């Protein structure tokens, strides 16, 4: 009798195990819970605003004469840029910076003996902000021609911006969201589940880098101003329910 009972129990256990394993096999592709995906939106664009800055100086033992020389240099710069097609109203000059220049005095045996006043150095900068990107970019490279006119002009590298960033950001968010949705649909399709409602959406950091550059993304967002041609990107993290 005990042997018969044991056989029945063993048989029931075999059947239960078969049912369990069969259900596990048929449910192997079903997904319960949530699907978390990250989508990427990316676009290349050209800067439509350039900001260029340069500075010039004059030095003289007499402060008044130094100012006269600086004003003469400024007039030369205005004339040069006007010939290049720049309206002088576009030029924004800074206040004049005055600095006393001193020369260190040393004895014949190298001991420091003090300083000697050698003159005043006056420095002024000029900034141009324009949507004529190519024109200003060209001028920034040619401005050293002023050396031939006796003006020591120091040109900074242009900075490039884009005035339609708000519209571009919206476009990137749309692309990133669409990309994330497609990823979620593929995951649910291959796993045998059905994509449900969107539970949450979180936007990543908006990044702007130079095209084909090796710039690293940063947690606070990269905002490239040194390249005329740029690439914008943003990520969207979506969480969907799965039916």
Task: Decide if 4 is inside a domain.
Answer: no
pLDDT above 80 (res 160):
yes
pLDDT at site 83: 95
pTM for the full predicted model:
0.77
Q: Are residues 57 and 154 in the same domain?
A: yes
Candidate from 44-58, 85-99, 104-118, 120-134 with smallest mean pLDDT: 104-118
Better pLDDT: 191 or 187:
187
Task: Decide if 228 is inside a domain.
Answer: yes
Task: Decide if 190 is inside a domain.
Answer: yes
Q: Are residues 89 and 189 in the same domain?
A: no
Looking up residue 103, the CATH number of its domain turns out to be 3.30.70.2970
Q: Are residues 88 and 170 in the same domain?
A: no
Q: Are residues 154 and 193 in the same domain?
A: no
- In three-state secondary structure terms, 43 is strand
Among 159, 175, 204, identify where a domain stops.
159
Q: Are residues 149 and 222 in the same domain?
A: no
User: Which residue segment(s) compose the domain that 118 sits in?
Assistant: 50-159
Candidate from 6-20, 42-56, 137-151, 180-194 with smallest mean pLDDT: 6-20
| pLDDT tens digits along 162-186 | 999 999 999 999 999 999 999 999 9
Q: Is 169 exposed, middle or buried (0-12, 13-18, 19+ CB in 10 A)?
A: middle
Of 100, 86, 64, 176, nearest to 131 (Cα)?
A: 86
Average pLDDT over the chain, rounded to an integer = 86
Q: Are residues 151 and 167 in the same domain?
A: no
Q: Are residues 72 and 105 in the same domain?
A: yes
Looking up residue 198, the CATH number of its domain turns out to be 3.30.110.170
pLDDT above 50 (res 13):
no
Q: How many domains does the chain have?
A: 2
Among 138, 159, 180, identify where a domain stops.
159
Of 234, 211, 239, nearest to 47 (Cα)?
A: 211
Task: Decide if 1 is inside a domain.
Answer: no
Task: Decide if 82 is inside a domain.
Answer: yes
Q: To the nearest whole percent, how much of the chain has pLDDT over 70?
A: 85
Q: Are residues 81 and 42 in the same domain?
A: no
Measured distance CA(148)–CA(73) in Å, rounded: 12
Q: Are residues 137 and 117 in the same domain?
A: yes
Q: Are residues 145 and 180 in the same domain?
A: no
Q: Are residues 41 and 75 in the same domain?
A: no
Candidate from 17-21, 33-37, 68-72, 168-172 with smallest mean pLDDT: 17-21
Measured distance CA(157)–CA(200) in Å, rounded: 43
- In three-state secondary structure terms, 5 is helix
Query: 67 vs 50, 77, 100, 146, 154, CA distance in Å?
Result: 30, 15, 13, 19, 18
| pLDDT tens digits along 48-83 | 999 999 999 999 999 999 999 999 999 999 999 999
């Amino acid at each position: 009798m005990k042997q018969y009972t044991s056989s029945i129990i063993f048989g029931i256990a075999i059947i239960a195990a078969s049912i369990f394993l069969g259900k596990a096999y048929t449910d192997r592709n079903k997904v319960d819970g949530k699907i978390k995906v990250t989508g990427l939106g990316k676009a290349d664009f050209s800067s439509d605003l350039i900001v260029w800055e340069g500075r010039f100086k004059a030095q003289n033992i007499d402060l008044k004469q130094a100012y006269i020389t600086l004003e003469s240099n400024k007039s030369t710069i205005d004339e040069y840029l006007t010939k290049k097609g720049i309206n002088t109203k576009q030029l924004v000059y800074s206040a004049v910076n005055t600095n006393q220049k001193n020369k260190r005095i040393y004895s014949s045996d190298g001991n420091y003996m003090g300083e000697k006043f050698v003159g005043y150095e006056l420095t002024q900068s000029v900034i141009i902000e324009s949507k004529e990107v190519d024109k200003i970019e060209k001028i920034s490279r040619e401005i050293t021609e002023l050396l031939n006119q006796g003006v020591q002009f120091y040109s900074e590298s242009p900075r490039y911006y884009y005035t339609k960033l708000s519209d571009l950001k919206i476009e990137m968010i749309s692309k990133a969201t669409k990309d994330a949705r497609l990823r979620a649909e593929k995951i649910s399709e291959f796993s045998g589940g059905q994509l449900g409602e969107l539970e949450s959406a979180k936007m990543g950091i908006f990044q702007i880098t130079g095209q084909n550059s090796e710039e690293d993304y940063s947690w606070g967002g990269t905002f490239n101003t040194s390249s005329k041609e740029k690439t914008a990107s943003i990520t969207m993290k979506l969480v969907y329910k799965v039916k």
